[in-house]
Structure 1
Amino acid sequence: MTLPPPQNPPGYPGAAPWQPGVGPPPPPKKSNTPLIIGLIVGVVLLCVIGLCGGGVVYNLVNDDSPAASPSPSQAGRPSPSDRYSPPAEVPTTEAVLPAPASVGDCITVDKTGDFLGLGNCNGTRGTYRVLSVDRAQGTCSDPDGPWITTDGYRLCLELYLVRNYCYILPTDTEFAVAAPKCKAKGTVHIIDIVRGGSNGDKCTNDYKWNHWYRFLHPTVVYCVMRY
């Protein structure tokens, strides 16, 4: 008995094209997806390697440059731009004290001329009136008149006594002061005042007085009861 020749398997040379429903299906076509993915990964790796390589080269170049290689003495020190610079000191000047008195004020002093404070011009406190206040401590308009210095100022003064009050009169070395007690020895009681007078001829006759004193700077005659 003669057997029929075997049929060629699909894909065998000389085999007839496969037809649906006849024999096993042909093998699936190969996909290009793995190849494309591989190419993309390769490109990404090349990019990454290129960037890193560039960074390495940049660092190597900078490390080899003299400016980027600090000397041992400079290692760990901040750059000049990073160092703290304190603000420049602003020069200050000494504050000027206010004047202790104003022109026209009456003041009190002790016998040596030390300033004791402001008084008033009604006789209850004060024996001199301020004619000028000079911060520069220059010469008074009347260089022979009385003056004192206090708090950096020169005060040019005039003797200013008031009727009916008692004083110890000034001398060549001492200033006029209020009498600690009226009618005490060495004190005077002011009875009359003649401004610009030259003697006691114009002293009042309405009240008793026993002595007169003439002062200059300014010129004035005091008619007094001397004790």
Structure 2
Amino acid sequence: MVTLPPPPNPPGYPGAAPWGPGVGAPPPPPKKNNTPLILGLIAGVVVLCLIGLCVGGLVYNIVNDDGSPSAGPSLSTQQTGRPAPSDRYSPPEVVPTTEAALPAPAAVGDCVSVDVKGAFLGLGNCNGSRGTYRVLSVDRAQGTCSDPDGPWITTGGYRLCLELYLVRNYCYKLPTETDFAVPATKCKDKGTVHIVDIVPGGANGDKCTQDYKWNHWYRFTHPTVVYCVMRY
């Protein structure tokens, strides 16, 4: 039996045990150390989580900065201690209001039109075509008139103190203790008078005109005046 010489050592593997019959296989290569790689991965995950938390908080603040309700305090609330916008809301303060006064229906010196019971019909004029009373005072407090026995009406929250104001050559129904003076719907109707002359402060008909025909006179007070008339 021929015995072969042992093969030479493999290249690049000096000092290895000689190979031969009965000699074991070469030892396995050494295991790699993965600890640095694992630590690096963990550190990367931690950094990514921190970045995500900061970005999420910033977005939350931007979205909720308009005062919309949120489920909990914002990041700015946690950092500054100030209440979130929704926590700062309070109902608007109720401002007391007062009702504005209506304008007076007439001014001192105006002539006004009324019906026979004294209901205000509106402004007239003092030339005889509309209106039988002239306004002496306008009182929103509706106190007594300076002449408590004179005529007055209330309208629009005001008291108007009046004086009888009739005009020559116009026809009227004269006032009574219960009725106000009003224009005649038709002159010469029964119960109407045609004003012929006016005597301010007169006591009777002695000073009535002699230039025109008249058949009766009436004296009124508040103010004192005599009307010389044709009575029908």
Bin of the TM-score, shorter chain as denominator length: 0.5 to 0.7
Match of residue 64 from structure 1? none
Match of residue 180 from structure 2? 175
Distance 1:50 1:123, change over 3 A: closer
Matched, 1:190 2:187: no
Among candidates 27, 36, 40, match of residue 39 of structure 1: 36
Q: Distance in 2 between matches of 1:40 and 1:206?
A: 136
Which residue type is aligned with residue 226 of structure 1? Answer: R
Equivalent pairs, count = 180
Q: Distance in 1 between matches of 2:141 and 2:48?
A: 78
Which residue type is aligned with residue 126 of structure 2? Answer: C
Q: 1:195-210 alignment to 2 at 5 Å?
A: 195-210=200-215
Among candidates 106, 111, 116, match of residue 116 of structure 2: 111
* TM-score of the pair, normalised by structure 1: 0.67
Among candidates 216, 223, 231, match of residue 226 of structure 1: 231
Q: CA deviation at 1:111?
A: 1.1
Task: Tell me the C-alpha RMSD between the 2 structures.
Answer: 3.4
Match of residue 62 from structure 2? none
Q: 1:69-218 alignment to 2 at 5 Å?
A: 81=86, 87-218=92-223
* TM-score of the pair, normalised by structure 2: 0.65
- The alignment-based identity, stated in percent, is 74
Q: CA deviation at 1:127?
A: 0.4
Which residue type is aligned with residue 155 of structure 2? Answer: T
Instruction: Give the unaligned 5+ runs of structure 2.
Output: 1-6, 16-31, 54-71, 73-83
Q: CA deviation at 1:169?
A: 0.7
Distance 1:44 1:196, change over 3 A: farther
